[in-house]
Chains A and B, each alone.
Chain A
Amino acid sequence: MPDWLLLMWQSLGPLLVGGIKFTVPLALLSFAAGLVLAFAAALARLFGPAPLVALVRFYIWLIRGTPLLVQLFVIFYGLPSAGIVLDPLVAALIGFSLNIGAYNAEVIRGAIEAIPRGQWDAAYSLSMTRAQALRRTILPQAARVAVPPLANSFIALVKDTSLAAVITVPEIFQAAQRIASVTYEPLVLYVEAALIYLVLCSVLSSLQGRLERYFSRHAVFAEGQR
């Protein structure tokens, strides 16, 4: 076995531990929390009173207009000056969730707005309330529109979790940095880290394909019909 392969094999354990203990939970939890936030923000923007709409617009403007790395620094290194000291993992979770929330609020709002007005009318004509129309008629169709951009954002998040390394979260990338600094083999270690991200993202891409097929099942023309 060549030296570089041996090094990769020996570092696989620590890198996977970083992935299993930090990268994957961080990505899953921030995406889940961010999605809840995004959904609430999208509904507030579409149906909320003017002050709430303004607040949501401010939130989206602020998060989208500043770098994620800077946001993480403000939360982890900046807030202690204001007396708020956060655990690195908690700081990362907050930063990533706020980020996912802001970007996907726009995705979800756009998906809801993409459903024709007539579908609301049809739901209302059956005496559905707005909440029923949204839940039964609009959201199931909006989901189809939203899945590709949401999957994009999830995949981007998985890779962005590597930024948590700079606020001392020992995830995959930080594990690679640590080993590289003692073995002086940065090429091997960083390529290995890259490969692990590639595998994670490939799994997500295939899940995206399945979800898309599920939500598009009604759009497939059955043979012999029509």
Chain B
Amino acid sequence: MIALQGIGKSFAGHAVLRAVSVDIAPGQVTALIGPSGSGKSTLLRCVNLLEQPDAGSLTIGAQTVRFSPGVRLPHAAVQGIRQQTGMVFQNFQLFAHQTALQNVMEGLLTVKRWEPARARDRALQLLDKVGLRAKADAWPASLSGGQQQRVAIARALAPEPAVLLCDEPTSALDPGLAAEVVAVLSDLAREGMTMLMATHDLRLAAQVASHTVFLLDGAVVEAGPSKAIFEAAQDPRTRQFVTTLASG
């Protein structure tokens, strides 16, 4: 169970998130949609504490952390939350100096202190899962964007996170390459991986995600099953935004 309660975040006095609450059941895939600047990415980054919220609380599994302005969480609390999350970035952010295999092994070796042989086995399995075992020894710079993002997904999954956070995972890709990534993410969804993804990609939001949250100016306008949001939204602002996604 992942619960965000009343999350607030300001940058230099400007409120980016206002009392955002989202619940995600285990095995559920939730899409965060909304125009640029609506706070989707910031909200995702609050879940693994790359940004620390100023208000509210966050629960992942058995751990709950509470936020207040100007108070930095203790390192152990941050690590406790982070170790339950994995993150996929819009621009992949593979470690450029490491091969695909080394990228996937990195968290296992450095953070979990696994033996290299064991880490290698798990990394190869994950590369296999995203269809890139043959590229294990390739440098990121020699891979296409879609391949890089699939390696990044394998890297994020390696430490077995309770939730996978995806920040616009297909936005930097042209349609054909985006389709590879959508296919991998939808396989994960079928296997019951809990995911929270900020996206403009209608395939991810309407087809892969079972639930959708519509954010506007840092606040939740409407949340519910994706089908309801995309086909029968209550709020006119949601209906209008969904139309722009469909046409774009």
Contacts and interface: CB of A to CB of B under 8 A. Distances in A.
A168 interface: no
A127 B89 contact: no
Interface stretch (B31-39, B139-147, B192-200, B210-218): B139-147
B235 to A, nearest CB: 33
B87 interface: yes
B82 interface: yes
Interface string A185-221: 0000000000000000000000000000001011111
Interface string B77-110: 0010011011101010111111100000011001
A122 interface: yes
Interface stretch (A82-90, A95-103, A135-143): A135-143
Interface in A87-139: 116, 118-119, 121-129, 132, 136-137
B79 A127 contact: yes
A122 B89 contact: yes
Nearest to A218: B139
B143 A225 contact: yes
B98 A218 contact: yes
B111 interface: yes
Contacts of A182: none
Contact of A226 (B79, B83, B111, B142): B142
B50 A121 contact: yes
- Which of B75, B94, B106, B138 neighbours the largest number of chain A CB atoms within 10 Å of its CB? B106
A222 interface: yes
A123 B159 CA distance: 13
B106 A125 contact: no
Given A218-B98, A221-B142, A225-B138, A128 B93 contact: no
A127 B140 contact: no
Contacts of B99: 218
A220 B138 CA distance: 11
- Which of B85, B91, B139, B144 neighbours the largest number of chain A CB atoms within 10 Å of its CB? B139
Given A118-B89, A118-B93, A222-B139, A124 B50 contact: yes
B138 A127 contact: no
Nearest to A126: B107
A7 B238 CA distance: 91
A121 B82 contact: no
- Which of B50, B89, B97 neighbours the largest number of chain A CB atoms within 10 Å of its CB? B97
Contacts of B155: 126
B106 A126 contact: yes
B48 interface: yes
Given A136-B106, A136-B110, A122 B138 contact: no
Nearest to B139: A218
Contacts of A219: 96, 139, 141
A218 B143 contact: no
A226 B50 CA distance: 32
B124 interface: no
B141 A218 contact: yes
A63 to B, nearest CB: 32
Interface string B206-239: 0000000000000000000000000000000000
A111 to B, nearest CB: 13
B156 interface: yes
B98 A122 contact: no
Nearest to A136: B110
Interface string A44-86: 0000000000000000000000000000000000000000000
22 contacts: A119-B93, A119-B96, A121-B50, A122-B87, A122-B89, A122-B95, A125-B82, A125-B87, A125-B89, A126-B86, A129-B75, A129-B79, A137-B106, A218-B96, A218-B98, A218-B99, A218-B140, A219-B96, A222-B138, A225-B138, A225-B142, A226-B142
Interface of B: 45, 48, 50, 75, 79, 82-83, 85-87, 89, 91, 93-99, 106-107, 110-111, 138-144, 155-156, 159
